[in-house]
Chains A and B, each alone.
Chain A
Amino acid sequence: MAAEGKAIDALGQFELSTVLGPIGAAVGFTQSNLFMVIAGGLIVALMVYGMRPAAMVPGRLQSLAEAAYGFIDDMVVAQVGEEGRRFFPFVFTLFMFILFGNMLGLFPYAFTYTSHISLTFTLALMVFVLITAVSIALHGKKFLGYFFPEGAPIWLAPIIIPVEIVSYLSRPISLSIRLFANMVAGHVMLKVFATFVVMLAGLGAIGPFVSVMPLAINVALVGFEVLVAFLQAYVFAILTCIYLHDAVHLH
């Protein structure tokens, strides 16, 4: 399905189409939305059914739920401090949503919703609005001091302040581009090498033997993508924590 003629269609996998027949078409419910719902359902199921036994010695699902909870709790407390606990639900939701999106995207026929900049930028914008609101709520007018470091010569203000503002505004952009670019790059590479498998296999007698090479690369790539899927969710969550730290401890 990938090799139409001799062209490699690496970007077709990111195209949106509506699902659920006429109902989905009427409300614009795409496969991206479908996988968001699936991811949300799986997260809720993991936490609810995983923690249902609430056993002293946890089973497999409970271990997974507890490990996820403890991992983010450690991260939030280590980065933001004890008072950062109130942001735990936000960071945890963000992390699990991105992690499940990245991981679900690795399954055959699945759609990676984190490969769309519209979604990653919306998430990053939520983080940006939150950190700005938190620092204004906690520090009021002192928030403006963030854009002019103490001790800098006052005549440098016309240069420093615009640069700091642009730097501050670039946070949601870099946050969203990092996640989006990683997911797109990984899936494009998988698709390209998968197409090579099909194209080389058609090379007559030696085809099946030659096509083992891109297949081997793809096996390694899938393993690598699992790592990237986790790492990018982790990076997104920890950068959120670092920004929250900046917002809570302004200077």
Chain B
Amino acid sequence: MVDDGKAFSQRLAEARAKQGLDRPVGERGRLPSGPWGIGFRAGVEVVSALIVGVGLGLLLDRWLGTWPWLFLVFFVLGAAAGVLNVHRLFHPRFGARKD
């Protein structure tokens, strides 16, 4: 029976490797990617970008007294940002180059 710490940790590492318990670090901590999860996330991203766009537009309009022009502009910007957010969902901005 070997009972010093190093041999134990070595044997533990071997056993874990054999059972496939140690996943490579890069695979850990991914977002859940079921179809419902992705769909819900995409919906939330679009809605929140629209909320920000419309909210900013209404605020600026009230401040500058230009109703409804900035509202219209920022509505379109919000929609574009929503599409951008969904695009980011599938192609993360910095995902390609993890250092």
- Interface residues of chain A, those whose CB is within 8 Å of chain B, are 74-75, 77-79, 81, 159, 162-164, 166-167, 169-171, 173-174, 177-178, 181, 231, 234-235, 238-239, 241-242, 245-246, 249, 251
Contact = CB atoms under 8 A, between A and B. Distances in A.
Interface in B78-99: 78, 80-82, 84-85, 88, 92-94, 99
A167 B81 contact: yes
B28 A75 contact: yes
Interface stretch (B13-21, B47-55, B61-69): B47-55
Contacts of B99: 81, 249
> Which applies to chain A's interface (DSSP): helix, strand, loop or mixed?
helix
A21 B18 CA distance: 60
B57 to A, nearest CB: 10
B45 A245 contact: no
Interface residues of B, number: 30
Contacts of B52: 166, 169-170, 173
A237 to B, nearest CB: 9
Contacts, number: 79
Contacts of A170: 45, 48-49, 51-52, 78, 81-82, 85
A78 B81 contact: no
B93 to A, nearest CB: 7
Q: Which 8 A-B pairs have the closest CB atoms?
A: A173-B48, A174-B48, A166-B81, A167-B81, A170-B49, A75-B29, A170-B48, A78-B29
B49 to A, nearest CB: 4
B72 interface: no
A74 B56 CA distance: 38
Nearest to A181: B44
Name, among A162, A171, A231, A238, the residue most crowded by chain B CB atoms within 10 Å (CB to CB). A162
8 contacts: A167-B49, A167-B84, A170-B45, A170-B49, A173-B48, A173-B49, A174-B49, A178-B41
A246 B25 CA distance: 19
Contacts of B32: 231, 234-235
B31 A166 contact: no
